[in-house]
């Protein structure tokens, strides 16, 4: 499982001209599910998202990188993105053979969202529409962006 994590002041997902999800301060997470991912990968990535310290302590700015999304009681917006599993080895056309098939991937993605909701709260975790063409808007705070992979 792969994730691109961006600290944002706001983010939203639009499908067919309608805003589907919108958050204020928090994390925008692009999620790629590989064909070998299991519940172990779900738990590993979810734990990292919930605990990564990417905000400073307001009371002591010298303590940079000390607060997580849970500590701040912020929100997470997840967007499924199979292209994170793409590879470009030969030529210029991406190979998506390592991405999990859509039917299975949707179930893994739902389980992943459920795991985040357990750790942060049902009302703090949002997502787009699985498999849809989406427009993702964000205001990157910092900018602060990380990539993580459960198999590294």
**How many whole angstroms separate alpha carbon 137 and alpha carbon 34?**
25
Per-residue confidence (pLDDT) for residue 35, from 0 to 100 = 96
Asked about 81 being catalytic, the answer comes back as yes
Domain coordinates in residue numbering, the chain: 2-149
**pLDDT score, position 69:** 98
Q: Active-site residue 40, yes or no?
A: no
Instruction: Report pLDDT for 60.
Output: 78
Active site residue 130: no
Please tell me the class of the 2-149 domain. Answer: alpha beta
Q: Which tokens sit at 3?
A: 């994730």
Active site residue: 38, 83, 107, 147, which one? 83
Q: What's the whole-model pTM score?
A: 0.93
The active-site residue, picked from 6, 75, 82, 126, is 82
pLDDT in tens, 4-41: 999 999 999 999 999 999 999 999 999 999 999 999 99
Q: Which residues of the chain have pLDDT under 50?
A: none
Non-local CB neighbours of 55 within 8 Å, separated by 6+ positions: 7, 65, 66, 67, 68, 71, 72
* Catalytically annotated residue among 6, 81, 112, 126: 81
**For residues 126 and 23, is the Cβ–Cβ distance under 8 A?**
yes
CB 77 within 8 A of CB 139: no
Q: Which residues pair with residue 21 across a beta bridge?
A: 13
């Amino acid at each position: 499982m792969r994730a691109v994590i961006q600290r944002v002041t706001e983010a939203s997902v639009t499908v067919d001209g309608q805003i589907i999800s919108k958050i204020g301060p928090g994390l925008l997470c692009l999620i790629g599910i590989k064909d070998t991912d299991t519940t172990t990968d779900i738990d590993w990535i979810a734990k990292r998202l919930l605990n990564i310290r990417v905000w400073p302590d307001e009371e002591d700015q010298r303590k940079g990188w000390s607060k997580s999304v849970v500590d701040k009681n912020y929100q997470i917006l997840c967007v499924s993105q199979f292209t994170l599993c793409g590879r470009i080895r030969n030529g210029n056309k991406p190979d998506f053979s390592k991405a999990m098939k859509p039917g299975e991937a949707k179930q893994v993605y739902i389980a992943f969202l459920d795991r985040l909701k357990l750790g942060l709260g049902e009302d703090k975790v949002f997502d787009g529409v699985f498999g849809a063409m989406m427009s993702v808007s964000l205001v990157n705070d910092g900018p602060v962006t990380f990539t993580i992979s459960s198999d590294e």
